[in-house]
Amino acid sequence: MELLAHPVRLRIVHALSGGRVMTTSQLCARMPDVSKATVYRHVDLLAAHDILDLAGEQRVRGAVERSYRLRRERAVIDGDTAASASVDDHRRIFAVAMATLLAEFQTYLDSDNADPAGDLVGYRQHAIWLDRDELAALIADLRAVITPRMAHPATTDREPYLLSPILFPLASEPGTTEDAS
């Protein structure tokens, strides 16, 4: 959990999703707001912990350029780990996720080809009322829709999108849930 709960490392994981293979230089170009030294340091750390696999090496101007691929099965926080996290751990991890999301969106908006309307960008929020069974059904439905698409490989006719479903109960004022019927 500590390894993945860092904005730069999470952005590296996003960049390599979908079976993409990238060099550290390509990752640096994808994250122009992060120093090259920082990207290299975090790539090394992810590789040392088997979250990234070395996909190849080639000589470029006398230096060895390495390319990496994501080990998707290692780049997850499993249910048991999430369940054992403290409230403060969840607060910190959520802040990292939001900082990462903001950085990714800012990088997208700063790119030359940013077209939010044309790219069907969305960031709506909806308050919904669910009982425990309806919540479980919603989560199952979302997994059924999202999980197969996570297996899509990167191809020339596919663009990478960042999908960040966020679900948590809203704090309710005392007495409001009883009166909502």
Helix (H) or strand (E) run with residue 92 in it: helix 87-110
Q: Check residue 175 and give its pLDDT.
A: 53
Identify residue 127 by its one-letter amino acid code: A
Q: What is the pLDDT along the chain (181 residues), one digit of tens a residue?
A: 788 889 999 999 999 988 889 999 999 999 999 999 999 999 999 999 999 999 999 988 888 899 999 998 888 888 888 889 999 999 999 999 999 999 999 989 999 999 999 999 998 999 999 999 999 999 999 999 999 998 888 888 998 898 998 888 888 665 555 444 4
Neighbours of 34 (CB within 10 A): 18
Give the rounded distance of the alpha carbon of 127 from its chain centre.
Answer: 23
Handedness of CA 122, 127, 132, 134 (dihedral sign): negative
Of the candidates 43, 97, 101, the one whose C-alpha atom is nearest the C-alpha of residue 70 is 43
Q: Check residue 60 and give its pLDDT.
A: 85
Domains defined along the chain, listed by start: 7-121 (1.10.10.10)
3-state secondary structure of 177: helix
Neighbours of 84 (CB within 10 A): 10
Tokens at residue 175, please? 């007495």
Q: Check residue 173 and give its pLDDT.
A: 61
Of the candidates 152, 148, 145, the one whose C-alpha atom is nearest the C-alpha of residue 20 is 152
15, 46 Cβ separation under 8 angstroms: no
